[in-house]
Structure 1
Amino acid sequence: MADAVTSTGSTPGTSGPNPRRAARTARRAQYRSAGGARGGLVLLGVVLLAVGVLTVLLVTGVFGQGRPQRPLLDPLVEQFLLANGTAARLVAILAGLVLVLLGVWWTARSLRPESRPDLVLDGGPDTEIRIGASAAADAVADGAATLPGVTRARARMVGSTSAPAVRATVWVGEDVADGEVTEICRRLDAEILPGIRDALGMADLPVAVRLELDAARRDDRPRVS
């Protein structure tokens, strides 16, 4: 069981944040964004595809017969590099360093933990109310844990201070029927989450809930050898 229930807290006819921004924030609540990694891989794939196409065209003689047997660099380019060897080596070293730094940055960005932003509320002129990330997430988890059939719940804040969201995992017992799971989802969206949003003062806080089957009791049984 791995059902995701996403609620943005908005209702038809009410004014709220930009719909596109709300949709992006709701997606952020469901899973971590991998847009940067996908964009880099697409760019790398396009470059490799272009190199492959040019190689095929070169071998098939599109750029002239006997071109594959000629030197890779044009003689004029080769003479220029030989005449400016020091400058060419410096440019190559700098380009290599840039590529290494770009790779390190990309790797660090992909592996870094998600931020856990605090909720910042407007308390009036020159007043800021800040709710800790763990307190807001625990409110969602504690509220979900009170529902019948739920054995435990866990939640965490994701996103940014300007666009926060909650990602929660709710475990239900093995003896819970499908109809009871549907009722859990309905009560989460209709009873628990609106009350938490009101308490936090954020009516449009997106919350993504993932339902899992709690097999902890089964796994904790003593094994007979």
Structure 2
Amino acid sequence: MKPPSVRAVARSYRTERGLTGLVGALALLAGASALVVGAGLLGQGRARRPVLDPVAVDVITSWPVTSRLVAIGVGLLFLLAGVRLALRALRPERHPNLDLTDDLTVTSGALAEAIAADAERVDGVDRAKVTVVGDKDQPALRLSLWLVDGCDVKAVWRELDDPVLSRARESLGVASLPTAVRVEMGAAKRTRVR
């Protein structure tokens, strides 16, 4: 199992996206097959037949209690899975504050702004956005950098790794600080059209 700080940096919506994609693909296939059968492309006899096969109807009518229990069980499983995924997707992300003394606390927003301001001083960085996530004991960073077009990415990374992230580790009081870095190149200043 991954430590909380690594999970916080790498938090992904892969499960939600995968499940949404799967449900969408199944709905698309069901709709396409209904159109193909309904249009009579598989034969006019199949288009006139009921959706549920007569053999399946006979089994359901011969075992009514079992069929109802199975349907209720499957419905409850779908309900529990849906509630679990909804709660997981809606779970708030933790942003730890830094307790300097009993009376003095620095918020995660202030920490993020300080680290972002420090990163923006690096040559080649046009803009930076930082989010502090994880626990107080094991914080992590999400760092988004918008670089100036034509800058030396290796030089930016060296300068970012040594002074900026080492100062962040010192101020957070941790030996290691997992950081997810997102880089966007050619971030020119936006001009407003009038």
Closer/same/farther in 2, CA of residues 191 and 162 from structure 1, 3 Å limit: closer
Q: Which runs of 5+ in 1 are unaligned?
A: 1-19, 49-68
What CA RMSD, in Å, does the superposition of the two structures yield over aligned residues? 4.0
Closer/same/farther in 2, CA of residues 146 and 167 from structure 1, 3 Å limit: same
Partner of 2:165: 193
Alignment pair present for 1:102 and 2:81: yes
Q: What pairs with 1:1-225 in structure 2 (closer than 5 Å)?
A: 21=2, 25-26=5-6, 28-29=8-9, 31-34=10-13, 37=15, 71-72=55-56, 79=62, 81-82=63-64, 85=65, 89=68, 92-93=71-72, 95-110=74-89, 112=90, 115-119=93-97, 131-161=106-136, 163-174=138-149, 176-178=150-152, 181-217=153-189, 219-220=190-191, 222=193
SS at match of 1:142: helix
* Counterpart code for 1:159: G
**Residue-by-residue CA offset, 1:88-141 (whole Å, 9 max, x unaligned):** 63663354144124224314523x375132146697xxx698542212222221
* Counterpart code for 1:135: A
The TM-score, its normalising length taken from structure 1, stands at 0.54
Deviation at 1:206, TM superposition (A): 1.3
Identity over aligned residues, as a percent?
34
The TM-score, its normalising length taken from structure 2, stands at 0.61
Say which structure, 1 or 2, has more relative contact order (CA 8 Å, 6+ apart).
1
Tell me the number of residue pairs that the alignment of Structure 1 and Structure 2 aligns: 163
SS at match of 2:113: helix
Q: Which runs of 5+ in 2 are unaligned?
A: 27-52
Judge conservation of contact 1:116–1:156 (CA < 8 Å) in 2: no
